[in-house]
Structure 1
Amino acid sequence: MDALALVILVIAVVGVALVGAVAGLVVTRRRKPGPLPDTHTDVLGAPPADPDPDAPPVELSAPPATIEPEAPAEPAAPAAPEIERPEGTASRLVRLRQRLAGSQGTLGRGLLALLSRERLDEDTWEDIEDTLLTADIGVAPTQELVERLRTRLRVEGSADPRAVLREELLALVDPTMDRALQVSGEGDEPGVVLVVGVNGAGKTTTVGKIARILVAEDRSVVLGAADTFRAAAVEQLGTWGERVGVETVKGEEGADPASVAFRAVEEGRRAGVDTVIVDTAGRLQNKQGLMDELGKVKRVVEKQAPVTEVLLVLDATTGQNGMIQARVFSDAVDVTGIVLTKLDGSAKGGIVVAVQRELGVPVKLVGLGEGADDLAPFDAGAFVDALLGG
């Protein structure tokens, strides 16, 4: 029994060994190494198909050329501003007459209506006097005009009131005054024009408009932006210069106005221009400070060339306040001419007479509006005709 069990055990062990050997052989055969898989995949992630042995060889294209990054484009140079051709003097005078007739005609019509009454009694003459005073002619010129009108109309009897009034108004405005701008220097020296006045009167704009008048007359010009306390004034003047193609000498904000004016005249001499126009500061904080500042500008400028013209810019709509400004600036610097701005917007044209009487210098230019060419030489005859409505 024990022998039989031993035989059975041996047979079982041998059987298990044979089964294991067979299983190992099968596994070994299954793990036989084959060709390595192609790790390349197409854009969809699947392995490529096996190549066709009968297909023609595929030529490999050259690798794409390296694309160099483009250099940043240089910024285009700013276009030069278009140079304007300002309007000539003749057409300005035509517009002067038209616009003044619109704004000043009320005064003339009122006076003519009073003078045309059948009976010129004291009440009528008082009305005439009030009309003239309202127009800012001033007390002394008004009394003088009324007296001359009374005498002439009484003596001449049947004289045409309109003709008499025109003659007397023209005499009051004084057509004999020299109203030419002194914009030329002696020999090769440039003319030097200082422009003064309070801020807000249109001073910087007036400088630009004078430059346009001179350019229209084929004169060469340099501008000096010496109102250094207002950055806006410096930029504004530079724009005016660019529009007509003239150079503007500038300084830093708050720089010494006299030094900027000096450099402007220095540049004008170097370039051989006809005229240098200097825009001065218009601060009216106190009379002494203004006198000191403007006096210094003039003295420093005259180290380069004589000042040929000092123009005072006044706002015609300010009336008697403008007269106060005129006196202060006249004390501060030797004013040689007056520019009245906004005359077309004021019915008080009598300020022409008043300021000339106050300062003893002529009105040389008048502002007629906001346009670039709305500044014209003052013409006494055209002004009086405008007062009378044509």
Structure 2
Amino acid sequence: MSAVDEVGGVAEAPPLRLAVIDLGAVRHNVQAVRALVGPAEVMAVVKANGYGHGAVQVARAAIDAGATWLGVADLDEALALRDAGLDVPVLAWLHGPQAGFTQAVLRSIDVGVSSVRQLDAIAATVAELRREVGAVARVQLKIDTGLGRNGACEAEWSALFGRAAELERSGEVVVTGLFSHLSNTSDEEDRAQLARLHSAVEQARVAGVVPPIIHLASTAGALRLPETRLSMVRLGIGMYGLSPFDDATSADLGLRPAMRVEGRVISVKRVPTGSAVSYGYTYRTSAESTLALVALGYADGIPRLGSNRAPVSIGGERFRVSGRIAMDQFVADVHDASVAVGDRVVLFGDPRDGHPSAEEWAEAAETINYEIVTRVGQRIERRYVS
């Protein structure tokens, strides 16, 4: 039978797979961090489709809450923000060897540069564009202070700063910032990185480059190491209401998780003692029991490592995934609980609402909460609430 609404029409069936994104929580989290780190500015990091939450929607909420910059990994992500009408400063910092910078220059996207080669490529782009239109590239110098990933290493700083100063003097680029990234290994290690950043800033000044914005800290540094806040902090995982720490929950930090992932029970069956469940028979019922089938699987980003360990909530009661998570579905042994086809199944959300947390799923899957939310697949419908 079809569900019928109060005026006699057919009610919309609930989606099979759903991620509810609370933009009110995003705004709350931005405002909470802004109040803590001010006068430092806040860059809202919306790379990887806003950590799976939706880059454009989260970006708008963050700007509404007082973020002044947006951060993404690559230029395609930055251009998508521009296409959506977001005209605030945007920084993109990860580029392939053949990356083209034309649209970045034309659309005022700040390009994070980690080498003289990248600076030369940007200068060549500006020279080509100036044949038809006046153009100046906005760049931020990315240096490696000890993380060992992207960024110019110390032996390259002199050449990078010298070339940047030369291009600023010729009017081809404007250096809007200088930045690095903490390892978050320990306060001692992070302070050592901060000292190296200060050294780099001084070397840049001597070379003739004086960037107006210096930034180093992401959520972890911003919350626990005030001296790393500098001109601006990059707010990533904290904006989505998740903790970057093993010893503090979201609630401890005054943050609200923004994502709730849920599905529906699509089948219920009563089975005898010893019934095996899913591939490999890694789970068998210990008594006569009820099995609830949920149409979510690793194709939707639900980690297979959560098999037999990860929690779910049905009707406000906690159960465990039972047996191996498959591509499109998993089973929960609900024992003698009253569960029916169509019941809502919450995988993770805000623990204050009684839901399992992304951290619990991360522990079950031997990973981190960042990965749990970021991997949520596109087959899962996103709905936005405030």
Which range, TM-score by smaller chain? 0.3 to 0.5
Q: Which has the larger radius of gyration?
A: 1
Alignment TM-score, normalising by the size of structure 2: 0.32
More helix by share: 1
Give the TM-score taking structure 1 as reference length. Answer: 0.32
Higher strand content, 1 or 2: 2
Which has the higher relative contact order, 1 or 2, with Cα contacts under 8 A spaced 6 or more apart?
A: 1
